[in-house]
Amino acid sequence: MAAAENYPADLKYHREHDWVRIEGGEAVFGITWKAQDMLGELVFFQPPQIGAAIDKDGSYGEVESVKAVSDLIAPISGKVVAVNEKVKADPETVNADPYGEGWLVRVQLSDPSEADALLDAEAYKQLVAEE
């Protein structure tokens, strides 16, 4: 069952419908409710390797749904320190809980100031409303 539309205020958002939760020197990435809604039921998650460097605005993996394949866009730069194994085994976890159990990767931040350029929840809601 898909989650209800929401955009938590404690997250930062990328224009490509990816979110980040900053936790000290690390961050958790995922896709937004809007992204999972546009894609439909996810059937595959291709994560990066643990230890891989990822760059802000660059692709760090893919998700595939019954409708399409979509690149995951990194909201900020860092090194991958964990991948959500639950989502690898059960990709529709993202549809049910995109901001909780449906997180995708955890990264060690290389430049925490990059988060300053991201959207807050209100600005992201405005972006979604304009699409």
Specify the pLDDT at position 36.
Answer: 94
CA 107 vs. chain centroid, Å, equals: 12
% residues pLDDT > 90 (the chain)? 92
Statement: residue 29 has pLDDT above 70: yes
User: What would the two tokens of residue 3 be?
Assistant: 């989650």
pTM of the model: 0.94
Rounded Cα–Cα distance for residues 63 and 31 (Å): 10
Which tens digit of pLDDT belongs to each residue from 52-95? 999 999 999 999 998 899 999 999 999 999 999 999 999 999 99
Coil, helix or strand at residue 93: helix
The domains found in the chain, sorted by start residue, are: 12-124 (2.40.50.100)
R_g (Cα) of the chain, nearest Å: 13
User: Amino acid letter at 67?
Assistant: K
